[in-house]
Chain A
Amino acid sequence: MTQRYVYVLAVLLTVAGFAMFVYKWQVLGFPLSENQETPVWTIESAISFDSGPGSIKVNLHIPTLTPGFRTLNENSVSRGYGFSLNYGSGGREAQWAIRRADGRETIYYRISVFEDAGSEQADTTPPFPPPPAINEPFKTAVDVIVAEVREHSADTASFTSELLRRLNDPSPDPNVELLLSDVDSEEDFVDVATMMLASARIPARMVRGFELSGRQRSADLEPWLEIHDGDRWLFFNPTTGEENLPDRFFIWWRGNEQLIKVEGGSNVEVDFAIQEAHLDAVAIAKSQSAKSGATLFDFSLYSLPIQTQAVYAVLLMIPIGALVMVVMRNIVGIDAFGTFMPVLIALAFRETKLVWGIVLFSVLIALGLSIRFLLERLRLLLVPRLSAVLIVVVLLMLLISLVSHKMGMETGLSVALFPMVIIAMTIERMSVVWEERGAADAMRAGGGSLLVATIAYIFMGLSWLEHLVFTFPELLLVVLALVLLAGRYTGYRLLELGRFKALTNS
């Protein structure tokens, strides 16, 4: 009965732990391993113009919805200009304004984005566009083509592909030729396509953006075609008619409005520069959830002050040490002093490093024990004797630190990190065992403690494990589940197999 409760509880804890872990990992993008880096692109638009005599107002379209990407941060560098963000028909617009400026001015807008396949931002479902007003003879040409394309297609997507195929045909139909007669840029071409789609009552718009790849000193905006099929927006390559969006295509703005409007300036130039950098994934997840107000991050350790974080980085490894302890004692069957003494010693080893830790610990215990045996002759009562041992331990620590410092071994200083009360209790316990059961037993239990401490230290020092537990503390629920299961383990301990060896022959 108890057995079943334990199993159910262990399963619940494991599921809860893993569920939170997967959510934070997959959805919030917390990295599994330390130093996991995510490429971050910084796109800088430099706007330069000759300022006129009066006031100047600059409007620049900036990214609004960017499927496949998330914004890390954005800013503008523009000395003396008033800066504001507005929503226009084509999405967000940055606006700079100044009363007076001299000569050629340059202002910058910078945005940093990182890739996130899961970023599907909700977009509006547009109304059916009104049929555009088109003059003859273009109207007849449009009507003829739309009718023909409709014949050869089944739905919105295939209509669009077919239309683009015809518009791109190397030996075009006379109607197409007529429509494309004024086209001399790709933007114009996409405009024509949008207009024709509108005649077929298909919501369509031009999008412009870049394919992000490495470092580009001056990137050109590429036009792309976006249509709405009633459910969602689809992207089409205007020159091939294929339905796709290139990898890492970063959409800057939508619609056929001009990228920039400058009032009171002339000779406007906009240059885009793209730079790729790699940022720590934790930093990205952090700034990301801070922005979206994800409450889970508020409960993550990364929201704590740095110093507190450092404390918890260590504290959170204690359950791992406890798990090692449980395994060593209940499943392997090693004798050790005190329940958690080895875990605390392992904690101290983190600072002293293993070899020095073992040396210092052994020296401390050996010196402490010999003084404890001297104290035994004084026939002190228990509490005063324990206190005397504690004081001796503190003095010994001081002595070891001073001697090693004089000898130029700075590692000796870290002896101060040993938990002195625990050491004092260990010395007392060991001396009692020594007297009652002999040196062999005392040494065995002492060695067992040191062995368990060493193994706990090795596990508690695994940096990937430390990162995992610190980033996903909910995994400790899984550790708890394991400990509960070990608590109901009724099989033999490993060392018992040797102990009862004589009975296997019966």
Chain B
Amino acid sequence: MFATARKLREAGVLGLNERNAEFIMRLNPRRLYPRVDDKALTKQLALEAGMAVPDLYGIIDNQGDVRRFASIVEDYDSFVVKPAQGSGGDGILVITGRSRRKRDMFRRSSGLLISEAEIQHHLSNIVSGQYSLSGNPDKALIEYCVHFDPIFAEVSYQGVPDIRVIVYRGYPAMAMVRLPTRASDGKANLHQGAVGAGVDIALGETLTGVLKNDVVEDHPDTGALIARLKIPQWDFILESAARGYEVTGLGYLGVDMVIDRDRGPLMLEMNARPGLNIQIANGTGLSRRVRRIDELYDKKATPAERAAIARREFSVDRQLQML
């Protein structure tokens, strides 16, 4: 037992207690949380900072407005409904199209149909706070549904694969691609059963994946190999993630990006308590990279400079040299 703990310590693996006490409590002042916990606010701040985000179609913030739903989505066939203060992807509804015969029947990402009334019920659940962290009344966001870039088509089962970048004091420290599976119901959250694949920050290429807590070589539903996929516009993604630090002020931040077929990388949301499975996906611990960033930290560096430093420092090759 103690031997395992020592090995993990040597591998620089970050545990939950240490993450909470040393990173979140130290670097993430509570007053900044609304900037990431309220997705409506995140979107607004990100737009002001010049980040690319999915278009917002509408916000429903009280029960009376639920009736407005049909008019909000009037012109769109696909959209996403999400709670502004949801956690872990709970309460997100992805609509990919409408029924051909009835316009008020919608097709979910899973292919199942859902009626307008059911969506309205879902909206009022969101507004009444069922999915919010605190249980307080919430807002429902209706926004652009990302048409994901075919790059990950082979290794995703429905849904939208996304890229999670951990940003430590403004420097991208670790990244992974989250691939939806049948089990995750098209959602890209690891604890819902999505596959996470580590990313070589220097090259922008995927490494092996992790499903729950185990390493996997190929996607459980499609069977395609996960490793060595080249992520397009990687520089832009790293720089956007680094910019998340300026937007939120949080020193330990998870930035979730998606790559849209037409519009390129978009920032979906940010997280003040990013999970630790990213370490398994990358086959390495966070602590060592965090220490390196502390050594290199430069208050005046721009997001682009910080992204460049991350590319230089955190390649798989360089890691092997460090070992």
Interface residues of A, Cβ cutoff 8 Å to B: 330, 333, 379, 381-383, 432, 436-438, 441, 487-494, 496-504, 506
Contact = CB atoms under 8 A, between A and B. Distances in A.
Nearest to B17: A490
A503 B8 CA distance: 7
Given A382-B130, A497-B4, A503 B17 contact: no
B4 A506 contact: no
B284 A503 contact: yes
Nearest to B210: A502
Nearest to B129: A382
B128 A381 contact: yes
Interface string B134-152: 0100000000000000000
The dominant DSSP class at the A interface is helix
B294 interface: no
Nearest to B283: A506
B126 to A, nearest CB: 10
Contact of A379 (B5, B121, B135): B121
Nearest to B26: A2
A503 B21 contact: no
16 contacts: A381-B128, A382-B129, A382-B135, A432-B90, A438-B183, A488-B21, A490-B18, A491-B5, A491-B15, A492-B9, A493-B16, A496-B8, A500-B13, A503-B283, A506-B11, A506-B323
A428 B47 CA distance: 37
B4 A333 contact: no
B7 A504 contact: yes
Contact of B214 (A432, A494, A497, A502): A502
Contacts of B117: 379
B284 A506 contact: yes
Contacts of A504: 4, 7-8, 11
Given A437-B192, A502-B215, A491 B18 contact: yes
Contacts of A381: 63, 124-125, 128
B233 interface: no
Nearest to A494: B1
B128 A492 contact: no
Query: Which of A436, A441, A489, A493 has the most B CB atoms < 10 Å from its CB?
Result: A436
Contacts of B121: 379
Contact of A500 (B8, B129, B130): B8
Contacts of B11: 503-504, 506
B78 interface: no
A492 B8 contact: yes
Nearest to A333: B16
Given A330-B17, A379-B121, A437-B191, A500 B22 contact: no
Interface in B1-31: 1, 4-5, 7-9, 11, 13, 15-18, 21-22
Contacts of A379: 117-118, 121
A333 B213 CA distance: 15
B279 interface: yes
A490 B15 contact: yes
Nearest to A488: B21
B174 to A, nearest CB: 13
A432 B8 contact: no
A492 B215 CA distance: 20
B172 interface: no
Contact of B17 (A441, A493, A506): A493
B195 to A, nearest CB: 14
B285 interface: yes
Contacts of B15: 490-493, 496, 500
B280 interface: yes
Max chain B C-beta neighbours (<10 A), residue from A441, A491, A499: A499
Contacts of A436: 90-91, 192
Contacts of B193: 438
Nearest to A499: B213
A492 B11 CA distance: 13
A432 B283 contact: no
Given A381-B63, A506-B284, A491 B4 contact: no
Name the residue among A437, A488, A496, A500 with the largest chain B CB count within 10 angstroms. A500
A313 to B, nearest CB: 33
Interface in B198-218: 210, 213-215
Interface string B88-117: 001100000000000000000000000001
Contacts of B130: 382, 432
Given A382-B128, A497-B1, A504-B4, 12 more contacts: A492-B5, A492-B13, A492-B18, A493-B16, A493-B17, A496-B16, A497-B4, A499-B280, A500-B279, A502-B210, A504-B11, A506-B11
